[in-house]
A and B are shown apart, each in its own frame.
Chain A
Amino acid sequence: MSSSTEPQVEDATREPPSPPSPTASFYDMSDDEEGGYSTIRHSKSGKGVKLLYTKSKVYVHPSPSARDNIPGYVAVMQQKPARDLIASPPTSPGSSSSVGRRAEINSLLLAWVPEKSLGEANTIYTKVESNDSGEPPKQSHLVPAPPVTTSHSSSVGAYAFAIPVTDIFSILVRPPNTGWWFGSIVINTRAGDSFPALFFHDSECQSTIDQRKKLQRENFSISGEDGEGMFWGGDEVIRWLKKFVTVERSSQEPSVYLIEPSESDRVGFGSAGKPTPDKVRNVLEGKHKDDPAQPRKGSVNDGDPVMKALKQARWSFLEKMSQVTTFTRRTAQAVAENKNLPPQVRRLMQDPQVQTVSDEFDSARLYLARWAMGIAEQSERERSQRIWTAKDMLEMEETGVGEFEVLDMEAQDLSLMDKRKPVTVEEWNGYFNVGTGVLEKTPDEVKDRIFHGGLDPDDSVRKEAWLFILGVYEWTSTKQERHAKMNSLRDEYIRLKGAWWERMLDEQGTLEEREWWKEQKMRIEKDVHRTDRHIPLFAGEDIPHPDPDSPFAEAGTNVHLEQMKDMLLTYNEYNRDLGYVQGMSDLLAPIYAIEQDDAVAFWGFVKFMERMERNFLRDQSGMRLQLVTLDQLCQLLDPKLYDHLQKVDSTNFFFFFRMLLVWFKREFSFPDILRLYETLWTDYLSSNFHLFIAMAILEKHRNVIIDHLKGFDEVLKYVNELSGTIDLPSTLIRAEALFRRFQRTVEAIDRKSSFPGMPKPELRQRLPVPPPTSPGVDGRPRRASQAATGSSAGASASGRAPTVGDHVAAGIGAQKEKVVTPELRALLSREVPKLDKQEVKDHGGGVGA
């Protein structure tokens, strides 16, 4: 059926852009004069096809930014039919003879033309638009023919297009939702292509406004065709088409209108039967798999179609998703009960906040963005249940994520798969000499295991292993030494605890100091009572509050909360230059939950804080440095995403503040945090591996961010709401892949810059201790206590405010030359950047000694 029009189409596309055009109405010309004439041409002089219906203010949104929107006209046009010239205006399909009707249909085009390109034809468009008879104008209005195409290639929006109506498979229709979105349609061709969504800005469109008024006058209603919702521009397009062709609304997908459906199309979409994932996918893809005319793209289609659709990553995709959204809202209950949906989508469906959205802050876009992500994740899950094939890996690689690299690595060395098994207490004990308790493996081997496999959450291995990776115990110590160390640490804890206790009782120190202590105590009290209370350990309120004046006196407390308060006050005593700062309680809770011994947990926390101190300085210099480093990392690894973030004013990376401050504590579940923290504590690849975790999270959502988010507030909201939806195992793999890619990039840049003539001599410096590629070779413990003063790690730890020059240097600078800044180079170091005491004194914000 569609093949009959194809020669015409090809003619059109092959024609040179500006052949001489008929100057008068083509209806005046004889068939002979036209010869092999195809009316579909670019034409300068302005006559070509007959404009039957049109509507203005129909936009293409080529980017998420409203600034880029292109206004245009949607139109039904009639080109000169090849044989049977239809001189009279078309009548309803039923009354035409079948031959005549076929010819008539073959001559029809559904087109979109940008306003700008109209030129003189502008007045004709305006005139035809204002024709409100519901029938095509009696008089012939000829306008230049837009280029006819059946496939939508790459560039969205800048150019007009016209699609032979016979080549249209379906039209996805999303009616407007006041305050949510503009109504839109997406044209899917029989070749399986989707054209960019056309958005009907009804409030700007005079004809729609007039038609609404008219409807109101005549029917006392402004309902559209289907009686659902307000009449809008898209209704009109469907009405036009119905005059010429069979338009059948799918009962499966109420927002899909099938154009001239075949019998198999009807079976697939039109009539009864439950929607199957396959059908939904077909609709998403804009095609029908039973259609024999459907060109099969070979094995490409064997890949996950949803994944493929996602990878197209263009604006029309949003429309496809929105089609699903509409579908879902209509069967909201059924879907909410569907266990297969990603949890965040289900949660969203039940979230009343989804209702409280508006145009200005277009939550609808966020909503859809999350939907898109949800579907992608589901697809990914299905995918991961299968064996990875090389093709899958390549596809992953194309997405820019690069899990492929790690997976490929593992495919080569299957023993690496064993590394991803958690370390059990038996395995852990096996690392040590039975007699002396000295580690018999290299620390790197152990770290490698913990980094890749984690520690078994179901046995007691964390209790001891954490003290090693936190640095409370030396890797080289004997059992006896550790015993002695712990004893002295316990004594020291009791001493410190006594010190602040006395301070409280005796009201020692200056007035200012006493004030500070009072405030800090209050702060700790408040925060502990709202830290991880959903964990059974911290949930109870089974003992009376020791302080009847506490705001929590009525609620009561439990022994673990009281221990938490003691430890934090003791830390406040131990590090008076900094003191307790909000967020620290989040960092202590996991350690305490594992150790469940206040003295032991305290020293674990002290070690953790050595590396986290910089996050809590009064001047925020440490946080700023990390955000800047993340900025540079993004520039280097994903310039396209960076570009977008720049456009939406988000390169301050403030939206990662929470994740970096408390190491993703608010993003992951408590059990996941335990696994994440032990991974990060190993410093196995980088002492700043948390920045690669952040990049991995960002990368996962890059397409959604690029496609849908167009303001700082939207990015912040989107990223904040990732909380509870991030899959840890895949994030860890992605982060590792990103690290390896970063490492290779730096090496490549260094190789390049070691050629003579490079302007920046400092870039030729040797990498500071690159992690060994085959772990465990050098095997020497890197003592975490060695402050990396003077090295780049030390420099970065100093919290030096990066200059503008740094920013420029970091990424795709003037000559698109990738440059490795000191901040980035520090990411290759496994030395934990620590502040020296003076630094903390100067910027800590505590009361000092």
Chain B
Amino acid sequence: MSSRKKILLKVIILGDSGVGKTSLMNQYVNKKFSASYKATIGADFLTKEVLVDDRLVTMQLWDTAGQERFQSLGVAFYRGADCCVLVYDVNNAKSFDTLDSWRDEFLIQASPMDPESFPFVVLGNKVDVGEDKRVVSGKRAMAFCQGKGGIPYFETSAKEAVNVEQAFEVIARNALAQEESQDFNPDFPETIPINIGEQNQGCNC
């Protein structure tokens, strides 16, 4: 009866302000939706225990402020991330257009060992609003995800709990795979990405 080290998966949720990051997280963790979430300031996280292939893991889901200027101070919690969730609003073209820069920004700040294989998941949220309001087609989003090396893509509604569970299951699975691939990679001491991160921060000063 050896006690296996408990696994903590760190997931960062990014995307423009108001696309529903906080709502998605709360729908997944607390099974609740509220129309009256305030704009997130700073950062916060929720945790949830899930079973991935009979393995009990703890997901730590980090929610951040959407306005891009607030990202620079938050590098502290990007470190050691196992998966990055990019969220856009299917009814807001701009929020889709910025996905690429959110992805780039994350890769720069978090400096994962192997940026090519780092797991991302894209969520197109607010599909409940209605087709007449929708401006980003699923086709377009999937093309984007294909172009980035086959990022898993889900269309979700945090409000009506559509696809949320399914999306986070994939997020958990990919994050676990990432976490384990890092465990098997003793050539890279953990300090390397951290140092890079700090250098970046220094340059911003």
Contacts and interface: CB of A to CB of B under 8 A. Distances in A.
A712 B76 contact: yes
Interface of A: 179, 203-204, 209, 352-353, 356-361, 363, 519, 522-523, 526-527, 530-531, 533-534, 551, 555, 581-583, 585-586, 616-621, 623-624, 627, 652, 654-655, 657-658, 661-662, 666, 712-713, 716-717, 720, 801, 845
Interface string B58-88: 1010000111011011101100000000000
The interface centre, meaning the residue of B1, B7, B35, B74 with most chain A CB atoms within 10 A of its CB, is B1
B47 A526 contact: no
B44 interface: yes
Nearest to A650: B76
22 contacts: A204-B3, A357-B47, A358-B58, A360-B8, A361-B8, A361-B47, A361-B58, A361-B60, A363-B47, A526-B18, A527-B17, A530-B38, A551-B91, A551-B129, A621-B205, A654-B43, A654-B76, A657-B42, A657-B43, A658-B42, A666-B41, A716-B45
Nearest to B44: A720
Contact of A658 (B41, B48, B77): B41
A531 B38 contact: yes
A352 B30 contact: yes
Contact of A582 (B1, B41, B45, B129): B41
A586 B38 CA distance: 10
A92 B107 CA distance: 68
Contacts of B29: 353, 356
A527 B39 contact: yes
Given A581-B67, A581-B69, A654 B39 contact: no
A17 to B, nearest CB: 37
A523 B42 contact: no
Contact of B17 (A523, A586, A654): A523
B67 A523 contact: yes
Given A204-B3, A582-B41, A619-B204, A356 B48 contact: yes
Given A360-B58, A361-B60, A526-B18, A624 B6 contact: no
Contact of A209 (B1, B46, B72, B205): B1
Contacts of B76: 652, 654, 712
A531 B92 CA distance: 21
A356 B25 CA distance: 14
A609 B65 CA distance: 20
A619 B76 CA distance: 16
Nearest to B7: A360
A44 B181 CA distance: 50
A530 B39 contact: yes
Contact of B42 (A203, A519, A624, A661): A661
Contacts of A203: 1-3
Given A352-B30, A353-B30, A360-B7, A661 B41 contact: yes
A717 B17 contact: no
B39 A713 contact: no
Interface in B131-163: 133
B4 to A, nearest CB: 9
B133 to A, nearest CB: 8
Contacts of B184: none
Given A526-B18, A530-B38, A657-B43, 12 more contacts: A527-B17, A551-B129, A582-B65, A582-B67, A620-B69, A620-B73, A623-B73, A654-B73, A657-B41, A661-B42, A716-B45, A720-B42
A359 B1 CA distance: 17
Nearest to A353: B30
B6 A358 contact: yes
B69 A618 contact: yes
B179 to A, nearest CB: 12
Interface of B: 1-3, 6-8, 17-18, 29-30, 35-39, 41-49, 58, 60, 65-67, 69-70, 72-74, 76-77, 91-92, 94, 129, 133, 204-205
B36 to A, nearest CB: 5
A845 B43 CA distance: 21
Given A203-B1, A720-B44, A583 B73 contact: no
Contact of A713 (B7, B60, B72): B60
Contacts of B1: 203, 209
A206 B35 CA distance: 53
Contacts of A527: 17-18, 39
Given A358-B6, A519-B94, A654-B74, A716 B30 contact: no
Contacts of A356: 29, 47-49
B46 A353 contact: yes
B37 to A, nearest CB: 6
Given A203-B1, A360-B8, A361-B60, A583 B41 contact: yes
A582 to B, nearest CB: 4
A602 B29 CA distance: 40
Contacts of A363: 47
A490 to B, nearest CB: 30
Contacts of A179: 49
A662 to B, nearest CB: 6
Nearest to A845: B69
B42 A654 contact: yes
A801 B94 CA distance: 33
Contacts of A712: 76-77
A712 B3 CA distance: 25
Contacts of A530: 36-39
A623 B77 CA distance: 17
B39 A583 contact: yes
A816 to B, nearest CB: 27
A581 B17 CA distance: 11
A658 B39 CA distance: 11
A-B complex: 7 closest residue pairs judged by Cβ atoms: A801-B205, A203-B3, A658-B42, A657-B42, A358-B58, A526-B18, A360-B8
A585 B17 CA distance: 14
A549 B74 CA distance: 33
B163 to A, nearest CB: 20
A522 B58 CA distance: 36
A624 B73 contact: yes
Nearest to B126: A551
Nearest to B18: A526
A357 B46 CA distance: 10
Nearest to B72: A620
A359 B6 contact: yes
A582 B39 contact: yes
Contacts of B42: 654-655, 657-658, 661, 720
Contacts of A717: 44-45
A362 to B, nearest CB: 10
Contacts of A801: 205
B35 to A, nearest CB: 8
Contact of A662 (B3, B18, B41, B205): B41
B36 A534 contact: yes
Nearest to B71: A620
A620 B39 CA distance: 18
A383 B77 CA distance: 40
B41 to A, nearest CB: 4
Query: Which of B41, B46, B94 has the most A CB atoms < 10 Å from its CB?
Result: B41
Given A530-B36, A530-B38, A713-B60, A582 B46 contact: no
A583 B40 CA distance: 9
A208 to B, nearest CB: 9
B199 to A, nearest CB: 14
Contacts of B37: 530
Nearest to A661: B41
Contacts of B18: 523, 526-527
A204 B1 CA distance: 8
A2 B184 CA distance: 58
Contacts of A652: 76
A720 B45 CA distance: 10
A621 to B, nearest CB: 8
A474 to B, nearest CB: 33
Given A523-B17, A530-B39, A654-B76, A713 B69 contact: no
A716 B3 contact: no
A429 B42 CA distance: 41
